[in-house]
Amino acid sequence: MTGYSATVSWKQGSGPFAGGRYSRAHIWEFDGGAVVKASSSPEAVPLPYSDASAVDPEEALVASLASCHMLWFLSIAAKRGFWVQSYRDHASGVLAPGPRGKLCMTTVTLRPHTVFTSTKAPGAEAVAAMHEEAHDECYIANSVTTRLTTVPTFEVSE
C-alpha cells in the first residue's frame, strides 16, 4: 500500500472571522516541494473572500482526473510503440445536486487531443481503446463516483 499526502495551510488575515468575512485563500504543499495557491471558488464564496487566481478544490478534482487519465494513456501508447508528440486536455466538470440532493461533481468530461508522429501512429479504434483502458486503470477515476466521460481527439503530425 502506498500513501500520499498534502499539507493544506490557512491563516487568518487582518479582517474579521465572524460572519464569514474572512479570506478563503490558502496554500497546498506537496511532498515534492510544489506549492500551489488555493481558494474557494468565487462562485461558492464571493470576492474578495475568494482568490480567483488560485486553484479551487473543484478545479483540482477535474485536473486530477484529467492528469491521471493522461499519464495512463501515455504509458499505454508507449507500451504499444506509438509515438506521442503532444497531449492536451480541456477537461471540465459540472457541480450540481447529486442523488442525495447535495451539491457534488456530477459529471466530468475529458477532451484529450493527442498528436502522434507519423513514425508510428494508431488509428481511431486503437486510440479509443487506449482511452478506454486508461480510464479503467486510472486510480482517481476508480476512486470517485462521478460519471466521467472522455471525448478524445487526435491527429498525426508529419
Neighbouring residues of 104: CB distance < 8 A, sequence distance ≥ 6: 95, 96, 97, 98, 146
Q: What is the mean pLDDT of the chain?
A: 93
pLDDT at residue 140, rounded to an integer: 94
DSSP class of 8: E
Predicted confidence band of residue 118 (pLDDT cuts 50, 70, 90): confident
Distance CA 136, CA 142 (A): 7
Q: Tell me: the pLDDT tens digits for 12-50? A: 877 777 778 889 999 999 999 999 999 999 999 999 999
Over residues 93-100, mean pLDDT: 93
The cell for 10 is 490557512
Over 90: is that where the pLDDT of 72 sits? Answer: yes
Better-predicted residue by pLDDT, 157 or 112: 112
Say if residues 49 and 20 touch (Cβ distance below 8 Å).
yes
Q: Tell me: the pLDDT tens digits for 2-15? A: 888 899 999 987 77
Q: What is the pTM of this model?
A: 0.89
Sheet with 92-97, side-by-side order of all strands:
92-97, 103-110, 147-150
Please give the single-letter amino acid code of residue 85.
Answer: Q
**Which domains, ranges and CATH numbers included, belong to the chain?**
1-55 (no CATH), 57-157 (3.30.300.20)
pLDDT at residue 157, rounded to an integer: 83
SS3 59: helix
Say if residues 13 and 22 touch (Cβ distance below 8 Å).
yes
For residue 27, the cross-strand partners are 9, 37
